[in-house]
Amino acid sequence: MELLSGISASSGIAIGKAFLYLEDEVPEIPRYKIAKDHSELEWDRFLSAVGEARAEVKTLLDASSHEMGKEQVELLETHLLMLEDEEFQNQIKETFEDRLENIEWVIRDIVHDLTQKLSFSPDSYLRERTADIADVARRVIYKLLSIRRFSLADLVEDVILVVHDLLPMDALIMNKERVKGIVMDMGSRTSHTAILTRAFEIPAVLGLSRATRLINNGAQIIVDGAEGQIVIDPDAQTLKRYRGALSRYQRNAKGLLHYTDYPAETTDGHRVSLKANIEFPEEVEQALRYGAEGIGLYRSEFLFLSPGHPAEEELQYQSYRRVLKAMGDRPVTIRTLDLGGDKLLPNIQDNDEKNPLLGWRAVRFCLSLPELFKTQLRALLRCSVEGQLRIMFPMISGLGELIDVLTFVEEAKEECRKKGQPYKEDMPVGIMIEIPAAAMIADILAKKADFFSLGTNDLIQYGLAVDRGNEKISYLAQPFHPGVLRFLKTSIDAAHAQGIKAALCGELAGDPYATPLLLGLGLDEFSMNASALPLVKKIIRDSSMEDCRALADAALACSSWQRIALLTEEWMGEFFPDG
């Protein structure tokens, strides 16, 4: 058995047989000279291949657009634009006329050079667009060489798709009924492929770098999309545990949707709020389908990264407004920019920091760039009149930082007043508790904040000094560590003592085994991946606060995470024997 850790792109569990899809970016291409008097014929051959490729993409778009989400339609339209790009065609023509080599080789050289340059760009958007360029070029080259590719649409058995870099078009056309999970060497959470896997609700883990070298075709593997982990050739105990989790989910999936119409209320009348985490406005539809009572975390930085430059105020305003309008009277919590670490803003941040996760990121970054920060704050203030907006600041480490960001909010309000732009004066402003120091002074911070949101992903990472991306020590990132539970309890109690609510928006919020424990600790609000909402709500509705508090008291008295994990498993086995 071997465990790999990567990037969680789409949550869920899949167990099955690996299918290695290891096509090269382009097939082997011949190279030969073209006689000058045959150059027109060669160029006509290129134009014909482009026309065929364009017709193919357009047919797919026309035939399936009614079944696709906005992101998928935009992807196909992007490929059409590339195929119709006169500037790019002119570049190919100039190179061809200069070298007089067969057109396939010319395309290969130009695309190779372009993608190489883009792959080293500090702009994550440009890096991720290399997949689109390669996809379009490969489509044209296959037409030129009269090669019929194996299509993932032709899969006839259930598989876990294992690929080096799944091109977006392949993701669109694949047989989604047969692809139960996706494992990929390349990719990030913002790539088109990642967006598509979430839209299709297929468990996926990306950024594994060596999965295609370690996984044999036909091997049994487990995809844990929520945790970003792959298990290769699992042992009997691991396989049993994951099969149990998967069968419980599948068995209860339809029944769980029944809970979307009911409040998250315990058997003895204690009510909490269940919300969804999103990164893109398009995810609101899924959040509503699964019964989200609001958006507990809208990660605004992806709006900045996608265009490759700081988003203008109007673009931000329209994006935030779109989410608020879609959610109606449900609250929407938008986190201000959390750039830095593994998310860099081109031309402003660089990757030279030795410890980027401890460096110039999040609120520290925003405070050092007043105009960029206030542009976002003005956009947020303006759209506050469109719904129930709450602003949340990440990585607050002390009272001084909190006072500074609140000062910026007041300055942004004054700027809106001068421009005659309306906003809600009483809009709630809260902070994330994700640095151990913030948890330890939560009683002080609670006097200035309207709410807390516990960011357990970073709280675990910083509190336990564990790099979650390092597979050698990832086993140490234990959410049930006694230190982590004490951070949570201290923060929740401090919030309640000051009369404000405490939410949790890390991955722990969507862990059903953590649900009764978090209830017992006094958590007011859970925010998670939308698909996890129904199961968490079922557990809440079938539990009593009295039993949950007893569990939390027992857990806080434990001296190790192993004992706490066993305690929660035993509790779940007793109160939910049928899973």
Give me the sheet containing 179-184, strands edge to edge: 2-5, 229-232, 220-224, 13-21, 159-163, 179-184, 204-206, 7-10
* Residue 202 CB contacts under 8 Å (≥ 6 apart), including other chains: 10, 12, 14, 176, 179, 180, 181, 182
Tokens of 537: 């709500």
**CA angle, 446 as apex, 440 and 450 as ends, to 5°?**
140
In this structure, the number of other CB atoms found within 10 A of the CB of residue 357 comes to 15
Residue 548: active-site member: no
Q: What is the CA radius of gyration of the chain?
A: 25
The single-letter code of the amino acid at 203 is P
The single-letter code of the amino acid at 98 is D
Exactly one of 366, 383, 416, 505 is catalytic; which is it?
Answer: 505
Question: What are the backbone dihedrals phi and psi of residue 334, each rounded to the nearest 5 degrees, phi first?
Answer: -105, 125
d(CA 1, CA 230): 10
Helix (H, G, I), strand (E, B) or coil at 393: strand
In this structure, the number of other CB atoms found within 10 A of the CB of residue 91 comes to 14
Whether the CB-CB separation of 297 and 453 falls below 8 Å is answered with yes
d(CA 183, CA 203): 9
Beta bridge partners of 160: 18, 181
d(CA 567, CA 558): 9
- Pairing assessment for the beta strands 229-232 and 2-5 based on DSSP bridges: antiparallel
371 exposed, middle or buried (CB, 10 Å; 0-12, 13-18, 19+)? Answer: exposed
In this structure, the number of other CB atoms found within 10 A of the CB of residue 402 comes to 21
Q: Tell me the C-alpha to C-alpha distance, in Å, between residue 511 and each of 236, 526, 566, 576.
A: 23, 10, 15, 15
**CA angle, 500 as apex, 495 and 505 as ends, to 5°?**
75
Residue 383: active-site member: no
d(CA 496, CA 484): 19
Exactly one of 79, 164, 192, 481 is catalytic; which is it?
Answer: 192
Nearest to 334 by CA among 381, 272, 287: 381
Q: Catalytic positions, please? A: 192, 505
